[in-house]
Amino acid sequence: MKQPLSVRAFERHPCLSTAWPLIRDALLHPMATFSNIDPVGSCRPALAFGLVTGWIGLAIELSSLRASLIDLSTRFPEAFQNIAKTIPELLAKMPFSDWISPVAQDNVRPWLAIWVLGFPCVVVTLLATCTAIHVCLRLLGAGSGGYTATARVVAYSGSCALVAWIPVVGDLLALGLVTVQQLTGLPAVHRASVGRVTMAISLPFILAMVLLGVVSIWSLTALR
């Protein structure tokens, strides 16, 4: 299997100048790019790529959320004034309140703090996603390429987070792209059917929804 030039160039010299061609190919030519990803080799460059694009994606989502809240605060100023008074009071009761409370009253610093502190969450999310998908692939008999192959495809599919900035359709476009990327790359590296890979990708999401439903029902029952 001969990898695309952009993937080979990035893995030889992981840097910004080699990342842009890879991002371009992953977004504009997802099937041609992901169908030829090599299942063997180091997954460190791929994981680094996934972490950086995931962190940028988090910044995009936070910026969109902040813009939406600012828009709502101009439409419903009284409701947001009450919220603005309540949040600092709640935070004052938390550990590290001397540091948190001033941040909560600032317009920009809380978002920067969330973004910076969100990096460990990006790390955990990426590794958990790779592990969950690979475990499901193994359970369905479709993980012959090994964990490294799964991690490489999932990490490179993080490029889809960069289209979330597009108004209205950004999140839907990102969801569609990651689906195409993973349903092209995972069957190729594991030599498995698209049906089994689809089930493996869907299974963690289904289990998470079931778990969320059970927790929600338990919480409502406990509150009664």
> What are the phi and psi torsion angles at 35 (to 5°)?
-75, -10
Q: Where are the alpha helices (DSSP H) in 93-193?
A: 97-104, 109-117, 119-139, 147-156, 170-190
Low-confidence ranges of the chain (pLDDT < 50): 96-97, 99-105
**For 212-223, b where at least 16 C-beta lie within 10 A, e where not — what string?**
eeeeeeeeeeee
What is the pTM (predicted TM-score) of this model?
Answer: 0.80
Instruction: Please tell me the distance from the alpha carbon of residue 189 to that of residue 128, in angstroms, as a whole number.
Output: 19
Q: For residue range 88-147, what is the model confidence (pLDDT) as tens digits?
A: 555 555 554 454 444 444 566 677 777 888 899 999 999 999 999 999 999 998 888 899
**What total of structural domains would you count in the chain?**
1
DSSP string for 17-76: HHHHHHHHHHHHSHHHHHTT--SSS--HHHHHHHHHHHHHHHHHHHHHHHHHHHHHHHHS
What domain range includes position 58?
5-223
Tokens of 179: 């689906």
DSSP 3: P
